[in-house]
Chain A
């Protein structure tokens, strides 16, 4: 898990967290195991459709995994006075983006929560409640698949807070 920071300007920063890449050894091991199991079933049942079905399922499963499941890199682009953009890029090259404008952002905090019998730290964006200035209407968790640890999160948190502080000192002009 690697964190990379790029400062584009005084009020614009990009923080990207890169997860572990798809390893060739694990991929070939999984494929060989699936095909060996299919060959064992074929040896027992003498039905050649099992082999073609196994090949088809392995290919389909690999494509679905690379395109919908395996996230390579997640990045956070913070532009002061404009908004925050969250991008996830998948192993097949697909990128999915979400943009949250600065008026809706209350704060970016590190929250702790119980997740699958563990307590994890995760970074999240708190969205402002339109009726209640002190309230939080929604919580948007970030870096869900790479799940960086606390030291990495603290770096990202400090970077985001430096930019978010500027919108308090600079007068709002909208």
Chain B
């Protein structure tokens, strides 16, 4: 799963490049050339030209609303002050206690909040 260049990826890239240029030229033709010229060529089944302006506007407004929406979703998913998620979670509840060995660095674990508070706020006598 490395991001290194591969022959298949080069082919996909080139196909996408050609496809996007073709799509862009088609969009310009549809938006700018008058309908009568296109009808005279025999191509009659096009969407209304209204959409040549409406779709980009819709897209930009959606991006702007997306900023506000993401901010709101972030605020909604922060845990409220009275939930236990501010103190612990599933991984911390199920952690195993390793036995204390002399002369060794203690194993990494989630220290319970009572212990942390005692260390910070109660000065050792």
Instruction: Report A's interface with B, CB cutoff 8 A.
Output: 106-107, 109-111, 113-116, 122, 124, 126, 134-141, 144, 154, 157-158, 161
The reply to whether A109 and B78 contact each other, CB–CB distance below 8 Å, is no
Which single member of B81, B112, B113, B121 contacts A122 (CB below 8 Å)? Answer: B81
Please classify the interface of chain A as helix (H, G, I), strand (E, B), loop, or mixed, using the class held by over half of its residues. strand
The total number of A-B Cβ pairs within 8 Å is 51
Q: Which A residues touch B81, using CB under 8 A?
A: 113, 115, 122, 124, 139, 141, 144
Interface size on B, residues (CB 8 A): 19
Closest-CB distance, A69 to chain B (whole angstroms): 18
A139 touches B82 (CB 8 A): yes
Does B101 belong to the interface (CB within 8 Å)? Answer: no
Which A residues are CB-close (under 8 A) to B48?
none
Across the interface, do B84 and A138 meet the contact criterion of CB distance under 8 Å? yes
- Distance from B65 Cβ to chain A, minimum over Cβ atoms (Å): 20
Interface contacts beyond A113-B86, A134-B112: sample of 11 additional A-B pairs, CB < 8 Å, sorted by A: A110-B120, A111-B86, A114-B78, A115-B78, A115-B81, A116-B75, A139-B84, A140-B82, A158-B121, A158-B122, A161-B122
